Structure formats: structure tokens, C-alpha cells
Amino acid sequence: MNFLSCLFRWQKVSFHYCSNSYQILEKQSTSESADRSQKSFADFCKECVPPFCSLSPVLFNGHLQTAWTQFDIEDIPVYYKRKLFDSDDSSYSGQFSVDFVVRPCVDNRVVSQTKPDAELPARTTFFEPQEEIDFISTEDSRPILLVPHGMSGGSHETYIQHALAPLVTHEGGWEACVINSRGCAGSKLTTGLLYKARSTWDFRQVVSWFKEQFPNRPLFGMGFSIGAVMLTNSDMTMRQYLAEEGSNCPLRAAVMVSNPWKLDFASHALQRSWIGSEIYSKILGHNMKNIIKRNKDIITQTLRIDPEAVERINYVQNFDRSEIQCPTWGYPTEDAYYRDASCVDTMLAIRIPFLAIQALDDPIATKDAIPFAEFNKTPFGVLCVTPGGGHLGWFEAGTTNFLNKLAKEVDLDESIKLNKNLDIEPLVKGEASKERLQLFNPQRLQPGNLKLRAKL
């Protein structure tokens, strides 16, 4: 890094992608006879993401960038209305909450309605019955962004509000919602089932609900950290939902920000350093412990959880080990859980265009876990990397441009048809038969294969 880069914290963006990249077709212009431009998805991403990102010289390493996402005091006026969903999957019964972004307004009547309900985050209230009816009755074709958040987070997180604010303005023209993981963002558990990094069933239900309620609206996904893992693991992006013409694919495109990819790598990286163990792991463990304590009665009634063991949780590894996740889901060790929930293999099953944004100095989504080789094999994804930025430290400009241009300038339906025969490059070259190459199945273990271990 040269002197000017150190002084101004300019971070050069590098891109990693397959040579046989997904092709996109721009929307038809007003002139029917005009030829439509066609370009690779990789070139499209390079146009959307600035070649350099500028970071504050005060935040001179990944730890400071990561901390700033938690302590940024900028007031971002994003308002939500909350809807509760009853799970439609009997294996994972219970309720979960979805926070829908609503337009901010200075009108006194509207402001009074957005005062938070008890125990809900700021600017968040439940839908009134008529409000929900009015919301569902809308029949326009505005794009909708579905957001799974990071570990123990929710719609109130600053990084989410930074991402949503420029999209949901009148000029942005987007609708958006945040799917809160069970027990997060002030939501209460109605069964003992919490969530894990392979908890994709609630996300799947919300996508299906949107497709039914708003058939004319294109759906997009953007996941942050563990939410990016959930989005990547979700079969909403995968082959079986692509019809011959692509019209049944629930999501049109996706963005993954600070995805940990290989959770065992991330866990071991946290334990190798003092700041990883005593700061990050303790904070994450404390946050998850608080969720358990707030819902202790229902959890201890349903699961074989020792309340005294919960009190002893100091690190996120304790939470994942013998205290909560392993006994809940039947994993023998936390590393078995991490390997199962990791999403490098399932990333190769994605069949829609997706952009991943990572920083090499991310202390949580460590660089050792970034699947560079896999991005060189899948034509559907582009990996965008900077030397600095920390965990969730930068992404707004690139993701906003990417989503806006994709929704407004690209003919998504025709692009799907154009790429209907596109597939990943085989990892091994040779004379093997087509059937032999298909033995690798990145969807070999779906979330439903591990069942909840309830009390006997």
C-alpha cells in the first residue's frame, strides 16, 4: 500500500469471477427497433461498484471499522411496521416477525403512529389491521428487497438502515423488509425453537408469501454476515426453483455482505487472538445469552437445556457447543454444526446472479474462508474484495448501485432465458462422463434433514 493510500484510506476493489460469466440483457428502449445491449454479469458489477472505496483514516484497521458499525450515531430515519407470521412448517413450529419498511413522514399523525410499541426497537410498531390490508392490496411492480440480518441483530441495526435508506426513498422506489431471526429484534419465542445458520425455513415462507401477495413485484435478497449464510443456504436461489423458462425463480438476484462462508474457519480465527476471543466472541455470546434468558421459560419447557449452563455462557462457542445449539439440533460438536451450516458448497448451487462483498481484514468473516476458487467456477456470482473495511464496514454505494441498475435497467426475465443452459464449470477437467461430474451435489444436505431434538 503506497503513501497516498495510507493517508486517505483508498481501498482498491478487486473482482473475482468465472470467465464464462452470466449474461445480462438491458431492458427494451422506447424504440422497438433499437438493439439491446448485452454484457457479462462481471462487467455489470464492475460498472456498479466503484473501483476504489474510501475509508476514514481514523479507522485504520479492520477492528476499528467493525466497531464503528456498532457505534455509528448517525440518525437514519427508517421506519418499520411489524407483522407476525405463524410458521407453516410443522417441524419448525412457532412465530417469527418481519419488519416492513414504511415511508418516513413529518406529519404529526403518522409520527405518533411510529412510536415504538413496548419492547420493540425504535421506529417500529405493529401493523394495525387496516394498515396491513392497505399494504397487501397494493398491486404495483416495485422491486422488493428481503433482508436476513446478522447474528443476534435485527431491523434496528445501523448497517441495515444504511443499506435500506437510499433504496426506500421516493426516488429509490423500492419496498423492503427485514426477516428477524426468532428471538431477535424484540420478538418473543412461542416455542423453544431458536435459530441457527441453516435456519432458512422462515425466509422460504416469507418469499412464498410475497410471491402470492405481490405476483407482479420482482424479489431480491440481501444478507449480512450470518444472514448472508442463511441467504446462500436458502433453496430460494437454487436450481430446483428454476423452471425451463426461469419464470418460477422466486428471487431474481442476491447480495451477500461479509459472508463468513466457512463457519469453522471463522470460529477458529476468533479463538486464535485475544481480541477475537475476549471481545467479539464474548459480545456475540452475551447477545445470544440474553435472547435465551428473555425466553427462558418457553425454551426450558421445550428443549433439554440446562438453565444453569446458560448462565455460564461467556463465549459464542459456549452457546454453540454443549449448552444450546448442539443439544437443540443434535450436532455432536460445534465444529460439526459449523461445517454443516457453512455455505461454500451451497453457493455452487445458486442459479441466479449474485454479488458478494468482502474485506480481507474482516476479523469475523476471515479471509481464509473466502471461496476464491469457487467464484472462479460459478458463472452466476461475482466476488468483490477490498484490503480493508472490517466486518460490515463498507458496502452502501456498491450495493445501492447494483440493486438499482439491476432492477431498473436489466430485463431480468429475458436474461434468465438467455442463460437457461448455463452451469458451473466442473472442478476437474478430464474424460469423465457427464453423469460422473454430476455426482457433486452442493444441495446434498438441506436444512430439513436435521430435526429439532425436543424433550422426550
Catalytic residues: 225, 362, 391
DSSP state of 421: T
Task: Identify the residue whose cell numbers are 438502515.
Answer: 161
CA distance 431 to 452: 43
Contacts of 77 by beta carbon, 8 Å cutoff, 6+ apart:
104, 123, 165
154 within 8 A of 184, measured Cβ to Cβ? yes
The set of cell numbers assigned to 287 is: 447477545
CA distance 337 to 267: 11
196 within 8 A of 202, measured Cβ to Cβ? no
The CA-atom distances, in angstroms, between 284 and each of 143, 208, 287 are 33, 31, 5
Question: Which of 149, 147, 151 has its CA nearest to residue 280?
Answer: 151
CA distance 438 to 318: 38
CA distance 41 to 30: 24
430 CB-contact burial (10 Å; exposed 0-12 / middle 13-18 / buried 19+): exposed
In what order do the strands lie in the sheet containing 354-359?
14-17, 381-386, 354-359, 251-257, 219-224, 144-148, 175-179, 95-102, 79-86, 124-126
243 CB-contact burial (10 Å; exposed 0-12 / middle 13-18 / buried 19+): exposed
> DSSP readout, 143-160?
-EEEEE--TT--TT-HHH
Q: What angle do CA 135, 138, 142 make, to 5 degrees?
A: 105
Contacts of 237 by beta carbon, 8 Å cutoff, 6+ apart:
221, 231, 251, 254, 349, 350, 351, 352, 354
CA distance 5 to 352: 35
Residue type, 131: E
Contacts of 147 by beta carbon, 8 Å cutoff, 6+ apart:
155, 160, 163, 164, 176, 177, 178, 179, 221, 222, 223, 224, 227
Contacts of 205 by beta carbon, 8 Å cutoff, 6+ apart:
85, 87, 88, 89
Count the neighbouring beta carbons within 10 Å of the beta carbon of residue 251.
Answer: 22
